[in-house]
Chains A and B, each alone.
Chain A
């Protein structure tokens, strides 16, 4: 059975940092792209970042460019999202998703359940 499990969420003060993990179970990411998406109540889903393991390339949305960093472990079984300079409007549920399709663009065929990040003093 294949799935994705996010972890690392929690309560953090404004300006603080968190490192989220997205662990693959039953497969490795070596031929996949992996994305981080967040769900903010009242705002729907926002795509944040993507790592393409085949092209060895990383993409970031404007909302998080310069503050968040996506990376993966050597075994390509876990993808991380290092989040710095967190703000109250970063509060939400953070989900990872595997991306399949056509070259560097694809739909998400596998998602995790998400991990809750709360930024508050």
Chain B
């Protein structure tokens, strides 16, 4: 199985500042046949369903504010929130969909400093 390791486990950032979350995969998530990286980022707020933010490692999902961005190589990925807003308090997790079983990072709890 592909192991996804996120860092940090928790993060406190001041409003308006940048937040960066990392995700490392034990396997290259780039399919050379289509040049796509099979990595997604989700936001999970308490009491709500998880919401996809980023897929194909860097494609922003519909309706997601442009302060959220994703980047990375085949094994090391980053979710960046350029200017933290109060409504961004949540748990963020990455997922690989390169192969089944799909696997997830352990989650990063983001709070306001």
Q: Which residues of A contact B (CB under 8 A)?
A: 3-4, 35, 37, 43-47, 50, 59, 61-62, 95, 97, 99, 101-102, 105-114
CA distance in complex: A41, B46 (Å):
13
Question: In whole angstroms, how far apart are the Cα atoms of A114 and B34 in the complex?
Answer: 34
Contact across chains for B52 and A109 when beta carbons are under 8 A apart: yes
A59 touches B93 (CB 8 A): no
DSSP class of B's interface residues: helix, strand, loop or mixed? Answer: loop
A105: which of B47, B48, B97, B106 is its contact (CB, 8 Å)? B97
Most chain B beta-carbon neighbours within 10 Å: one of A46, A47, A112: A47
Task: Contact check, A47 vs B104: say whether CB atoms are below 8 A apart.
Answer: yes
Q: Which stretch of B20-28, B36-44, B76-84 is in the interface?
A: B36-44
A107 touches B40 (CB 8 A): yes
Residues of chain A within 8 A (CB-CB) of B100 are 47, 50, 59, 61, 105
Closest to A3 in B: B49
- Give the chain B neighbours of A43 by CB distance below 8 A: 106
Given A44-B104, A44-B106, A106 and B49 touching (CB < 8 A)? no
List chain B positions with a Cβ less than 8 A from chain A: 34, 36, 38, 40, 42, 47-52, 55-56, 61, 93, 95, 97-107
Complex formed: what's the CA distance from A45 to B96 in Å? 12
For the complex, give the distance between the alpha carbons of A37 and B103 in Å: 10
The 5 listed contacts between A and B (C-beta, < 8 Å) are A43-B106, A45-B95, A107-B55, A113-B49, A114-B49
Give the A-B pair count, Cβ closer than 8 A.
65
Q: Is the CB of A44 within 8 A of B93?
A: yes
A94 to B47, CA, bound (A): 14
Q: Which residues of A contact B40 (CB under 8 A)?
A: 107-108
B8 vs chain A, min Cβ distance (A)? 14
Is A45 a contact partner of B97 (Cβ separation < 8 A)? no
CB of A98 to closest CB in B, whole Å? 10
List chain A residues, Cβ under 8 A from B49. 3-4, 95, 110-114
Contacts of A97 in B (CB 8 A): 50
A113 touches B106 (CB 8 A): no
- A-B pairs, top 4 by smallest CB distance, nearest first, are A107-B40, A111-B49, A45-B104, A107-B55
